[in-house]
Structure 1
Amino acid sequence: MNAPSPQSTLQAAPLAGFRIAVTSDRRSQELVEALERRGALVEHTPLLKLAPLDNEEQLLSQTRQVIAQRPHLLLVTTGYGFRRWFDSAEAAGLGESLTRVLSDAQIHVRGAKALGAVRALGFTAASVGSDGLTSTLLRDLASEIRGKKVAIQWHADSDPDLIGSLHRLGARDLVEVEPYRWVDSAREESMIELVHSLIAGRLDAVTFTSAPAVHALFAVARSRGSFDALTRSLRERVTVATVGPVTAAPLQSAGVEPLIPERHRMGAMILQLIEHLGTHGTLSCQTALGACQLRGHTLYVEDQSIELGQAQAEVFRRLLDAGGAVVSRAELVSLLPSVSSNHALDMAVSRLRKSLPDPTLVSTVIKRGYRLNV
């Protein structure tokens, strides 16, 4: 049986050749498998995980307050949190009482996942946030909150100063319900290694499904004095994919513009990542050896796939982009780490040539630089 050609492999696996970091804990296996089915090489470093509160009595006390308060409005920020709240209430024998109280309240939800959870438990939502941000939901409800008894189910992803905003809008008898919290799920060494990989460009993309995970990664980078280098790499070298605007917010605050799908779903994030990397992360050129394509750090040429090191991939990417034109030594040196020199470039080119089916694919142009043999 003949081995499949690189071209047929790429058609069947649109993420073939790309190295992608997954930072989520919840539903991470689903995301990792979805990316791997599409050909990606996945590095999984879960940064945070959802965990119940250490003291379940705190949540039950909040539940009893809601039942006694009989709120006019309930704001629901997460589907997982809403479901977990009811699981806890039912286990404590408070499910029926909570259901009766909330059936009389106006329920307003932050986004589609929260809406699905509300409907699944038999409730009707009075409104759904237009962009998945709690701040937008509050703005839309500003005229309805004053003087009303309000309960809110929220968590660490919620917009900053959420409770303060509700008080300023005139909410009274405000009850906060917090069904879970975030806890570290990765060793610091793993998080530091992820920071280093992102800074060095050893990864082509990174995915985030929660804002606290972004904050956790940034905190580790700051503790190592690497925050500026990390954000610069996320702006210039590594594609950042998020599941929605709430997750994207801390990245945008740091000057990083991530991918944000129109539908705030994991599947939509994957499809957007495929489209982006297929368009912006792939370079192709017809060469003396035939069709040549670089996808991330993987080179497809002459019926072979070749994994390139970081320096070799940077050099070959620029040569491929030049399409046979000469690229100066100075420009190629500038693509390598800041401590690089002409000797480092010579070593990178030497290793690159050894990786190729035919070393003459990269030609030296005396006193000028290098070019691709097209």
Structure 2
Amino acid sequence: MNPSATDRPLSGFRVGVTAARKVEEQIGLLERRGAEVVWAPALSLADNHVEDADLRIATDDVLDRPVDLFLATTGIGLKAWFAAAERWGLRERLLEHLGAAEILARGPKSVGALRANGLRELWSPESEEFEDVLEHLRGRDLDGQRIVVQEHGQSLSMVAHALRRRGADVTSVAVYRVVAAEDPEPMFHLIDQIADREVHAVTFTAAPAVAALMEAATSTGRREDVVSAFQADVLASCVGPVTAAAFELWGVPSVFPERSRLAAMIKQLEVELPSRAAGTSFEVAGRTLLLHGDDVLLDGVEVKLSGAPLAVLQAMVVNPGHVVSRADLLAALPSGTAGSEHAVEMAVARLRTAIGTRSVQTVVKRGYRLAVTPTD
């Protein structure tokens, strides 16, 4: 067994990272575990705060009348709002005003920001999902109740409309907006790698990042390829249930840890990715071939394969011993590979050179297959 597979559990795996914030920490955690990282920020690195004048108008509106219920959704939004109020000389007044209301918080970050400013939430869901905050309000009489909703980077206008239908007087406060990354090229490159199965997993730490990636995939005409890849071969790894829920719209399965924390997400990847690669061990022409991510071992010795021969090998081990047509092998080759059957022949020749000429059999007029007998 390759030592890197045990000491560095993500060795041989390529992981896409879509985060814009705390990205150094995430990349460091992945690389220390042996992963090759492809960074493509889905969202802008800028703060994207709304205009001070607009936030001041919204704040004055909040202060104009008593608040019955305050819904806090993000720690970063609360901190930015209270900091702006401090600049205007309104912080203490705002805190006192909100403190007189019943406060519901979406998750631990918003709870932390509230308590750091002397406010105390009455209730917060274990799930950290805003939908559960709304569920908590279901059945209550909201007629005439004034509700202030601190938005979480995306508009909650539909939430506000739903609450208004129940008779509530709703004021939404937008502190910042989430927008797509200024340079879309890294994201376009990652989309190609997802569609071509050149990454094993992609991490998401915010629901808007999912929307941004799918929007970019749609704009490049590769949305169906991306959805198909996530459904079959590429793992969508989310930091928590809120982010994972954003994939449900696309019918994409995803995984997320019990605790919505970055370290927990990486720890989960340590288990998920190797388990997906487990069992790809074969007797090939009398020798033992083991695939672990992009690592290939022949009788316990690592074999270095470039993109095209590795793609051919991975296509043939999907159904070990079965014939794979030249057309299917051509489709499996990485983007940028010359699009002809000659490219397939060259990739097969390089694979034979690396793992043995008898390891890959030619089936006349049909294609190629590995000369394998699966190990117990």
TM-score, L = length of structure 1:
0.86
Q: Given residue 134 of structure 1, which amino acid in structure 2 is its aligned partner?
A: F
From the superposition, tell whether residues 301 and 122 of structure 1 become closer, same or farther in structure 2 (CA, over 3 Å).
farther
Percent identity between matched residues is 32
Q: Is the 8 A contact 1:283 1:295 kept in 2?
A: no
Q: Is the 8 A contact 2:197 2:233 kept in 1?
A: yes
From the superposition, tell whether residues 329 and 177 of structure 1 become closer, same or farther in structure 2 (CA, over 3 Å).
closer
From the superposition, tell whether residues 157 and 274 of structure 1 become closer, same or farther in structure 2 (CA, over 3 Å).
farther
Gap regions ≥5 residues in structure 1? 1-5
Q: Is the 8 A contact 1:283 1:317 kept in 2?
A: no
CA distance in 2, matches of 1:311, 1:283: 23
Question: Which shifted more, 17-26 or 61-70?
Answer: 61-70
CA distance in 1, matches of 2:102, 2:32: 43
CA distance in 1, matches of 2:14, 2:42: 18
Which among 331, 341, 346 is matched to residue 337 of structure 1? Answer: 331
Matches within 5 A, 1:38-49: 38-49=33-44
User: Which residue in the other structure is 2:305 paired with?
Assistant: 308
Which among 81, 101, 107 is matched to residue 105 of structure 1? Answer: 101
CA distance in 2, matches of 1:40, 1:104: 50
User: Which residue in the other structure is 2:123 paired with?
Assistant: 127
Which among 146, 154, 158 is matched to residue 161 of structure 1? Answer: 158
Q: Is the 8 A contact 1:25 1:47 kept in 2?
A: yes
Q: Is the 8 A contact 2:316 2:324 kept in 1?
A: no
Q: Given residue 223 of structure 1, which amino acid in structure 2 is its aligned partner?
A: S
CA distance in 2, matches of 1:52, 1:43: 24
1:73 has 2:69 as partner: yes
Report the RMSD for the aligned CA atoms in angstroms: 2.7
1:19 positional shift:
0.5
CA distance in 2, matches of 1:361, 1:273: 36
Matches within 5 A, 1:1-374: 7-49=2-44, 51-142=47-138, 143=140, 145-157=142-154, 161-172=158-169, 174-285=170-281, 287=283, 292-302=289-299, 304-317=301-314, 319-320=316-317, 326-330=321-325, 333-334=327-328, 336-337=330-331, 344-354=343-353, 356=354, 358-360=355-357, 362-364=359-361, 367=364, 369-372=368-371
User: Which residue in the other structure is 1:3 paired with?
Assistant: none
What do residues 117-175 of structure 1 show as CA deviations (whole Å, max 9, x unaligned)? 22333322111124333222112113153321111111334667121122123211x22
From the superposition, tell whether residues 341 and 255 of structure 1 become closer, same or farther in structure 2 (CA, over 3 Å).
farther
From the superposition, tell whether residues 235 and 277 of structure 1 become closer, same or farther in structure 2 (CA, over 3 Å).
same
Q: Given residue 88 of structure 1, which amino acid in structure 2 is its aligned partner?
A: A
TM-score, L = length of structure 2:
0.86
User: Which residue in the other structure is 2:336 paired with?
Assistant: none
Gap regions ≥5 residues in structure 2? 334-338
1:59 positional shift:
1.4
From the superposition, tell whether residues 329 and 213 of structure 1 become closer, same or farther in structure 2 (CA, over 3 Å).
closer
Q: Is the 8 A contact 2:154 2:178 kept in 1?
A: no
